């Protein structure tokens, strides 16, 4: 990439042109230039070294010009948090008085579309990092070597890795940077599993001669801890961090125009290579009546602030199993159901059997070989799962964890020459 140079090449240049007597002297000189901000490592992770690391002159890190927003913006999502003991007015210390209402209404609409709740200090911090309320896109100023579409694990690694070797890079995300792993997957689920493990160990402590009294579970505190941990990790996946790495960050919906161009928020970006890393969402099983049920998925279950008394889980893959175990440990009556004759159908029988017994020891009711007939709501608002043969399972809430479906809607992949299967998976 023409705007970058390699550390070892620079050392050779300094020695060859008599700016340094030895390669060690050249490294000392180079480090002095770096410390005086003449140049820096492209991702600012290294000092100057006689190695094949990429460096760029600081003038190339100048702040990019940005698109002027067409609506007033809040400085932070925290500005929407209702003040304690107030009549519902929000604290908006950083917004000029005349713009308060317009900025607040705009932000409320965006916040509702993000489907992250409750809006407390932890979720406000999360959103400030992964979907800033005051973000404005940079102005595209030339062809990109790489564009990553989707800012989950795949897209972020692609963008950071490409920027790390000096490429001109953009990343586009329409929802939350960090994707499933940070927001609805690895981070929040493992935060809950850590608590569930503690509860399980206490309840089984008598097997080791340790006798404890009744365990009191504060579900609200458990979920707040999860939100706090998630927010504390979010700077690693933040728009600000990737901008500092030299990546142009666009928050909006991407749509291919051709094999080498894509549109986002009214701008056309040209590229040499693009990485489609849009991930997947919860697949909805074809069960009559499911469209009438306000079911939970792995994306919405982490918004809960009150523990459901009972929970039906449809799908016994990794997500269904781990969340079943969590909520059973927390005190819900959990029924885990699967169409197959075992849980974790892709795993070895012996492994699945071990997990099944562990779930049952923590109180999960495991039902395999289920033939789903219908879903409905009863007169008190509970979910009723009807099975073939007339049996019913009733619970307060329903979690759908029946596999994953790719996020490829509205990308206009045909214009990029990308073929898909009938299941909307990339070929």
Confidence at residue 287, expressed as pLDDT on a 0 to 100 scale: 96
Confidence at residue 57, expressed as pLDDT on a 0 to 100 scale: 84
pLDDT of residue 86: 47
Q: What is the pTM of this model?
A: 0.84
Q: What is the pLDDT of residue 100?
A: 44
Distance, in Å, from the CA atom of 324 to the CA atom of 334, rounded to the nearest integer, reads 6
Instruction: Provide the residue-wise pLDDT of the chain in tens; the chain has 427 residues.
Output: 667 899 999 999 999 999 999 999 999 999 999 999 888 888 888 999 999 999 988 765 556 677 776 666 777 888 887 655 544 444 333 333 334 455 566 677 788 888 999 999 999 999 999 999 989 999 988 899 999 999 999 999 999 999 988 899 999 999 999 999 999 999 999 999 999 999 999 999 999 999 988 889 999 999 999 999 999 999 999 999 999 899 999 999 999 999 999 999 999 999 999 999 999 999 999 999 999 999 999 999 999 999 999 999 999 999 999 999 999 999 999 999 999 999 999 999 999 999 999 999 999 999 999 999 999 999 999 999 999 999 999 999 999 999 999 998 899 999 999 888 776 677 7
């Amino acid at each position: 990439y023409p705007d970058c140079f390699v550390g070892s090449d620079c050392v050779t240049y300094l020695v060859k042109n008599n700016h340094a007597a030895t390669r060690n002297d050249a490294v000392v000189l180079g480090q002095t230039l770096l410390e005086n901000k003449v140049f820096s490592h492209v991702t600012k992770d290294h000092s100057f070294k006689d190695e094949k690391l990429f460096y760029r002159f600081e003038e190339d890190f100048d702040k990019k010009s940005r698109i002027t927003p067409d609506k007033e913006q809040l400085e932070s999502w925290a500005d929407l948090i209702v003040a304690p003991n107030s009549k519902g007015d929000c604290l908006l210390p950083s917004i000029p008085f005349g713009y308060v209402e317009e900025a607040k209404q705009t932000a409320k609409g965006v916040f509702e579309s993000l489907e992250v709740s409750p809006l407390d200090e932890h979720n406000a911090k999360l959103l400030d990092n992964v979907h800033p309320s005051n973000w404005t896109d940079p102005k595209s100023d030339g062809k990109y070597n790489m564009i990553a579409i989707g800012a989950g694990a795949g897209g972020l690694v692609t963008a950071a890795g490409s920027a790390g070797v000096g490429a001109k890079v953009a990343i586009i995300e329409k929802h939350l940077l960090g994707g499933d792993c940070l927001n609805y997957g690895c981070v929040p689920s493992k935060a809950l599993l850590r608590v569930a493990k503690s509860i399980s160990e206490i309840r089984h402590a008598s097997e080791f001669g340790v006798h404890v009294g009744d365990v009191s579970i504060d579900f609200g505190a458990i979920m707040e801890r999860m939100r706090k941990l998630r927010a504390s990790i979010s700077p690693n996946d933040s728009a600000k961090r990737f901008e500092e790495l030299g990546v142009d960050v666009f928050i909006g919906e991407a749509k291919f125009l051709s094999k080498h161009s894509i549109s986002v928020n009214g701008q056309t970006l040209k590229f040499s290579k693009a990485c489609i890393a849009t991930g997947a969402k919860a697949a909805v099983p074809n069960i009559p009546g499911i469209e009438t049920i306000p079911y939970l998925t792995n994306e919405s279950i982490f918004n809960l602030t009150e523990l459901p008394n009972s929970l039906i889980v449809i799908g016994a893959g990794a997500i269904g199993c781990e969340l079943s175990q969590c909520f059973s440990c927390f005190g819900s009556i959990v029924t885990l159901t699967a169409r197959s004759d075992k849980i974790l159908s892709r795993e070895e029988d012996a492994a699945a059997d071990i997990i099944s017994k562990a779930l049952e020891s923590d109180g999960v009711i495991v039902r395999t070989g289920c033939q789903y007939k219908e879903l409905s709501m009863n007169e008190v608002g509970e979910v009723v799962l009807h099975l073939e043969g007339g049996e019913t399972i009733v619970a307060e809430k329903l979690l759908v964890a029946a596999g994953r479906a790719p996020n490829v809607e509205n990308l206009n992949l045909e214009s990029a020459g990308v073929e898909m299967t009938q299941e909307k998976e990339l070929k």
